[in-house]
Structures are given as C-alpha cells and as structure tokens.
Structure 1
Amino acid sequence: MTILFAAGVWAITFWNESSGVAMTKHGWIALGLGTFFSLTIGCGLMALMFFSSRSGHDEVADPFRKREPPAK
C-alpha cells in the first residue's frame, strides 16, 4: 500500500512539473500508435486466452488435473 501511495505522489508531482512542455506532431503520432498497438495486442491476447479456454485446450495441457476414470 505504501508503494502504491508513493507511486501516486510521484506521478502527480511529475505530471505537475511537466505541464508546460509542448509535444510535437511526431510525439502525438508516437503516442497514438503506441496506444493503438498496445490495446490491439492486449485485446488479441485476451481473445486468444478466452477461445483457448472455451475450446478445451487448457484442460488437455494441465498435468496436475485429476483425470476422470474411463467410462465403462
């Protein structure tokens, strides 16, 4: 909890100290592309994890899962 509070104080202080800095057109383009690709990769990985879980591949790969006895 202390680390979270310290990080928040640091972020607010840094934000206030850098408020007068202007960002160029290239900076805005880099910020936009970085945000877009981060969200794209994050959403893509979450979708892959969801579909993998739904398709049953996760149960096959789990070596610690208790196996049900075969049906007779």
Structure 2
Amino acid sequence: MEGMGKGRIAILIALVVILFGAGVWAITFWNETSGVEMSEHGWIALGLGTFFSLVIGCGLMALMFFSSRSGHDEAADPFRKHPPSS
C-alpha cells in the first residue's frame, strides 16, 4: 500500500462497496426466488441466450485478435511511434 495515493484508495474502497452490495443483492434475490419453477420454454430460452452470448463474445474476441495481428489497428492510432522503415 506504500505507492497508493488517496485517489487509488478511494477507488478501491468504492469497488469493494459495490462488490459487497452486488453480493448482498444476489443472495437476497436468490432466497426470494427459491420456490419459483421455470417452465421448459424458460430453460430453452436461458440455454439459447447463454449459447448465443458466448458465440457473439468469442466471435468478437477472435475478430479483435485477428485485426490486431494483421496490422489494421495501427492506422487508427496516430500517436503510436512507428519504427523507421528501411
């Protein structure tokens, strides 16, 4: 904690408070909905939503990786120093 300034400590405290609040909310919500049954259509919708979210996320990460490797991103950053061409 030696090199941390007041701003970093404040951000760290805020993030811990948000994490704690999200945990309390999740536990409360889980306990309130414990007796609710989900129909077959609900399980299908949950499965398809999860599957397509993963497909879209993996696809976007792959596009970002290939774009970075092919050099297309370098033209979009005018402040990056380019090595001299020989």
Deviation (angstroms), 1:50: 0.5
Matched, 1:36 2:51: yes
**Mapping of residues 1-72 of structure 1, within 5 Å:** 1-71=16-86
TM-score normalized by structure 1? 0.89
Q: Distance in 2 between matches of 1:34 and 1:41?
A: 11
Number of positions where the alignment pairs a residue of Structure 1 with one of Structure 2? 71
Deviation (angstroms), 1:3: 1.1
State the 4+ residue runs in structure 1 displaced beyond 4 angstroms.
none
Structure of higher RCO (CA pairs closer than 8 Å, 6+ residues apart): 1
Q: Distance in 2 between matches of 1:69 and 1:48?
A: 28
Q: Distance in 2 between matches of 1:68 and 1:47?
A: 27
Q: Distance in 2 between matches of 1:68 and 1:46?
A: 27
SS of aligned partner of 1:66: coil
Q: Which runs of 5+ in 2 are unaligned?
A: 1-15
- The code of the aligned residue for 2:74 comes to E
